[in-house]
Structure 1
Amino acid sequence: MRKLIAFFSAVLLCSVGSIAFGVGFLKFEREFSGKGASSGFFGKEINVAFDTKGNTYVADSQNRLIQKISPKGDFLDQILMVDDTTAFKEPGDIAVDSAGNIYVADTAANHIAETENPKIYIFAPCVYKFDALGENVHTYFVGNVSVRPKTVLPAKLIIDEAGRSAFAIQSPGYDRQIKIAVNGDSELYILDPVKTKVHKFAADGKKLTSFSSYGAGNGEIDKGASDIGVDAEGNVFIADTDNHRIVKFNSEGEFLFNFGAHGRDDGELTKPSSIVVLNNGNILIKDASQFKRFNKKFTISDILAASPAASGLADPLSDSTTLGSGILPDSSFSRVFSNFPATQSELVQRVQLLEELEYLRRYEGYYDGAGKGADKDIDADLQAETVKSTYWHRVTSRIQHFDANGKYLGRFLYSVDKQNEQDRDLNFLAFDPFGNVYLRDGSDFTIKQYSINGFTVKASQANGFLNANFSTFNQEMLEDYEDVDKVPELQNEVGQSRLNNSLGMVYDVSEKLNFSLFEDSAFSKMQERYSILSKKEDSHELSTLSFDSTARASVTLITNPNPYSYKEFNLYVVRMDGTTDLLKEGAYPELNKQKETDDGNKHSYGFGLNWDLLRKNNTNINFGV
């Protein structure tokens, strides 16, 4: 037995060690910005980029402007117009090169030079290039917008910059969102997620090449790829969201390799959404994986169900558990483990890892379509109700760290406390090349900057609760033998009071490992007076006092976090103590001086483990004395 315990302890320590050294957390650095329309304040939808000095550039879609913010969060400058006659339509992604040039994705109209009276314009996604002073230098268009169409196309009547009538061709998807990145030579890369293409332009605006295609094979990407990054050597990294991977090309657009596989384990990706190439050449990736931690509160129904009256305890003497422990030490140790099911689900809700869409649908108001305001209102109410019904409710997200060859280096975690009024609406915003992480509050639009730290013990990762309830039960029974008098022959009065306390704490070392401590105690007092009025010498009084205490400690280690191959390792220990005192004596001491006293004590210990060795094989061991 000792060898077995030593073996399992060694396995646990190795697992804990690997998790502790492979995970880091975020450290809060500063907060800036807020809701507004200028001077360092922004609207709801923004995109951000960073220069080599740590300045932040913000493309504000709602307010249609670009702002520059200092590393300390102070407002520096802004670009209000593309040029003297052209306004931004809906600025999207943004990038900054080493020379300080600013690139902004938007939608623009290009005049087909060979058309006059009336002029014909083609609308298409574009990227505006500004110099460091905010002067427009060049406009890059996605697609061919300089040649008159050879087919009949629908067009809209518009007024051009000279006030004359003109026609506008707005093909489907003309205002689609694009993603951009710039290399060290000021060459621009434009990712078109809808067309599954990447376009490369020289610094002077000349188009150099296009690469990638639709699919899931080598050199292919799925529709909806969400981000693009470029390293110092000009290699291109695409966050291929729906293929759950990263695709790497060289500077000429030649396919190099893919990395990442669908999953939640280390090095695996679930819908990667953001990517940044750090100054040292390593890569940070944010994906959609989220790990929920909560503990449900007791409801009124739960409390009533635990009370003696609701539990059907009309006869307390028939069930020793009503009194807390019974008169003698418990001979059935199985009771200790009856509170410890193999999965630990009745003590701490087993880690719930839901698919992203299901989780977002239930808790984050995610919808594929737009304009479902009523549904979103309903979902917000459900979300609030869910949070209110828990002692704690946190959502942990991860950022994974890879080298330039796709080798997994580690992960960094951050948690959003859904019960914290100040932080509950924090959402991921961006990385910068220095490795800082930015979260944005969805309510007041403030931006919080965090640096990346190694593994630390954080009080914010601990959650606890205290629950207490008091219940009383009284019963009186009168019995008459149907004689001619009106005085009952038998009177039985029973009263019981019970106080229960539950104290618990859970500490999340990471999204895969947590420790928990729980202590349940119960104090119970019962008094009974059994009176035979016609024969008082046979009447008696019975009173009992009992106290029970059960302490539990457990460790849960998730060995495979993927929902369809989920496996975990549980190790737990338990100690149960109880004592009961009984006193029985005559109800009328002058007629019956008999007295009976009894007491009992129990002390039980146990430990157990539950280990998912294989997907369909589980090992469960319990031991107790």
Structure 2
Amino acid sequence: MRPKGCPASSSRSSYLPAIRPGDLKKQENHRGLGRLNDQCTTKSRLGQAGACILLWLAAGCGPNDGAFESEVFSEVRVLGSRGNAPGQFVKPRSIAIDRDDNLYVCDMTGRIQKFDPDGNYLLQWQMPEIKRGRPKGMACDHEGNIVVVEPHYSRINHFTPEGRLVSQWGVHGRESGQLSFPRAVAVGVDGSAYVSEFQIVERVQRFQPDRQAVLFEVRGSGHAKNQFNRAEGLSLSPAGELFVADSCNHRVQVFRTDGTFVREFGQAGSERGEFSYPYDVRVDEQGRQYICEFGNSRLTVLDSEGEVLELIGRPGSAPGEFNNPWSLALDSRGNLYVADSQNHRVQKLIRREPAEEVQVSSVKF
């Protein structure tokens, strides 16, 4: 499937207060936290939030036996279903993890929803201006704030984990230091922000921490190195490299944090080492790279040397299957979250290694 926008081959707003579980009226159709036991039967309960559904699924259990297979991850857990209620999603497009491993999800309703590491719904807030388009692109910054990109408003917002707006920046335009349809953001440990853009101008910029100047700009529309065709997700590796999901070029480009080109990998296709519209990328402490492919509806995992370790998933709606995944996030235990957009859910892949053996660098944000 080809994403919309890919070729074939302001003033500060008053953001609405966050909504918390105690603010919600009880709804009979809210589903609680469900767990599949050893007999693969479901036990459910309404949590305090009473809004989300998280299925804990061991690989090889139930009617979807064999749908999820991985050497890196032991099982998959499914969060959410389609709808507008708390804990439900409409085409989730971006996710982020904070310092406490809480999950944030933005979807096509213009909401940002927050969940604890066990999948319990905590709160939400609404982006008030969505007439031009919905938010897309999230990260956690060096101060622990949640960063949300608004492509159609050419601006970037920083919220507290409780949903209070603390800063907003971005001036529309194609000149250096301006923003034109930003798609993704990554924030380094020093507070500098990396932003990808497409349509009017194809580029990646690095802004200094005070956003008053640009430290580098890699700009150009095309297929050569240092050129982009709808740059999407960004990830900073522990080695100090910036990974860019160059989606409509079906590849990932890697740069140093000064903007110097390092390498590229991938080409159009569905075989190992090939991509179909890679939309996001994450790099863990061991240098493993995780890439979600919008077109192939799967994940590709590579080792620190760039060799493919495995392909995870296939098109479908069973646990461990995907339908146009948009976004990835890693928590402190090495668990991988996937915004499974067209399935209107988030999937959590549980890392096999013990937690003490897995350290995920904060610089990925």
TM-score by length of 2: 0.64
Counterpart contact for 2:272–2:311, Cα < 8 Å: no
1:399 corresponds, among 300, 308, 317, to 300
Q: Which runs of 5+ in 2 are unaligned?
A: 1-68, 354-365
| Structure 1 residues 246 and 425, CA gap change in structure 2 (3 angstroms) | closer
TM-superposition CA deviations, 1:558-594 (whole Å, max 9, x none): xxxxxxxxxxxxxxxxxxxxxxxxxxxxxxxxxxxxx
- Separation in 1, partners of 2:285, 2:103: 16
Measured in 1, the distance between the counterparts of 2:295 and 2:135 equals: 28
Give per-residue Cα distances to partners, 1:583-624, cap 9 Å, x unaligned: xxxxxxxxxxxxxxxxxxxxxxxxxxxxxxxxxxxxxxxxxx
Alpha-carbon distance, 1:104 to partner: 0.8
Which residue of the partner structure matches residue 328 of structure 2? 431
CA distance in 1, matches of 2:321, 2:299: 17
| Structure 1 counterpart of 2:224 | 217
Partner of 2:155: 126
Matches within 5 A, 1:481-496: none
Q: Residues of 2 paired with 1:236 and 1:177: CA distance?
A: 17
Q: Distance in 2 between matches of 1:424 and 1:439?
A: 12
1:256 match: secondary structure: strand
1:201 paired with 2:207, answer: yes
Counterparts of 1:468-617 in structure 2, within 5 Å, are none
Residue 440 (str. 1) matches residue 340 (str. 2): yes
Measured at CA, do residues 178 and 447 of structure 1 come closer, stay the same or move farther in structure 2, by a change above 3 Å? Answer: closer
Say whether 1:141 aligns with 2:163: no
Letter in 2 for 1:220: Q
2:93 is equivalent to residue 46 of structure 1 = yes
- What residue in structure 1 maps to residue 137 of structure 2? 93
**Quick one: distance in 1 between partners of 2:321 and 2:76?**
18
Provide the rounded CA distance (Å) in 2 between the counterparts of 1:139 and 1:106: 10
Match of 2:146 in 1: 102
For 1:424 and 1:228, locate their aligned partners in 2 and report how far apart those are by CA, in whole Å.
23
**Superposition deviation, residue 69 in structure 1:** 1.0
Deviation at 1:191, TM superposition (A): 0.2
Which residue matches 2:24?
Answer: none
Distance in 1, matches of 2:320 and 2:241, equals 37
8 Å CA contact retained: 1:92, 1:106: yes
1:410 deviates by 0.8
Rounded Cα–Cα distance in structure 1 between residues aligned with 2:329 and 2:260: 26
Show the 5 A alignment for 1:98-497.
98-106=142-150, 124-144=153-173, 176=181, 178-194=183-199, 195-209=201-215, 210-221=217-228, 223-287=229-293, 290=296, 397-403=298-304, 407-416=306-315, 426-433=323-330, 434-438=334-338, 440=340, 442=342, 445-451=344-350
Provide Cα deviations, 1:317-362, integer angstroms capped at 9, x if missing partner: xxxxxxxxxxxxxxxxxxxxxxxxxxxxxxxxxxxxxxxxxxxxxx
Q: Distance in 1 between matches of 2:254 and 2:345?
A: 34
How many corresponding residue pairs? 275
The structure number with the bigger radius of gyration is 1
SS at match of 1:242: helix
Match of 1:71 in 2: 117
- Is the 1:25–1:412 contact (alpha carbons within 8 Å) kept by the matching residues of 2? no
1:56 to partner: Cα distance:
0.8
Structure 1 residues 108-129: Cα deviation after superposition (integer angstroms, max 9, x where no partner): 7xxxxxxxxxxxxxxx411112
Between the aligned partners of 2:173 and 2:294, the Cα distance in structure 1 is 35
Percent identity over the alignment is 22
Measured against aligned partners, the alpha-carbon deviations of 1:19-57 in whole angstroms (never above 9, x if no partner) come to xxx973754343322334353333334321112332111
**Equivalents in 1 of 2:321, 2:255: separation in Å?**
38
Shift of 1:427: 4.8
Counterpart Cα distance in 2 of 1:35 and 1:236: 34
Whichever residue aligns with residue 185 of structure 2, its letter is I
Provide Cα deviations, 1:134-184, integer angstroms capped at 9, x if missing partner. 3322222154499xxxxxxxxxxxxxxxxxxxxxxxxxx97x452222222
In structure 1, the gaps of 5 or more residues are: 1-21, 109-123, 147-172, 291-395, 455-625
Secondary structure of 2:148's counterpart equals strand
Amino acid at match of 1:105: V
For 1:449, the aligned partner's letter is K
Under a length normalisation based on structure 1, what TM-score does the superposition of the two structures give? Answer: 0.39
Structure 1 vs Structure 2 CA RMSD: 3.5
Q: Equivalent residue for 1:156? A: none
- How far apart are the structure 2 equivalents of 1:101 and 1:430? 19
Which residue identity does 1:135 align to in structure 2?
Answer: R
2:92–2:340 CA contact under 8 A, matched in 1: no
CA distance in 2, matches of 1:143, 1:435: 36
Distance 1:202-1:128 versus aligned 2 partners, 3 A rule: same
Residue 58 in structure 1 maps to residue 105 in structure 2: yes
Tell whether the 8 Å contact from 2:295 to 2:324 is kept in structure 1 after alignment: no
Q: Distance in 2 between matches of 1:441 and 1:37?
A: 14
Pairwise CA distance, 1:263: 4.3
CA contact (8 A) 1:31 1:448 kept: yes
Alignment correspondent of 1:28: 75
Q: Distance in 2 between matches of 1:29 and 1:425?
A: 12
What SS does the corresponding residue of 1:31 show, helix, strand or coil? strand
Distance 1:427 1:205, change over 3 A: same
Q: Distance in 2 between matches of 1:37 and 1:129?
A: 24
The one of the two structures with greater contact order (alpha-carbon pairs below 8 A, sep at least 6) is 2
| 1:179/1:142 CA distance change after superposition, 3 Å | farther
The structure with the greater share of residues assigned to helix is 1
Match of 1:348 in 2: none
Residue 474 (structure 1) aligns with: none
Q: Which has the higher strand share?
A: 1
Aligned mates of 1:244, 1:187 — CA distance in 2: 27
Q: Is the 8 A contact 1:435 1:451 kept in 2?
A: yes
SS in 2 for 1:273: strand
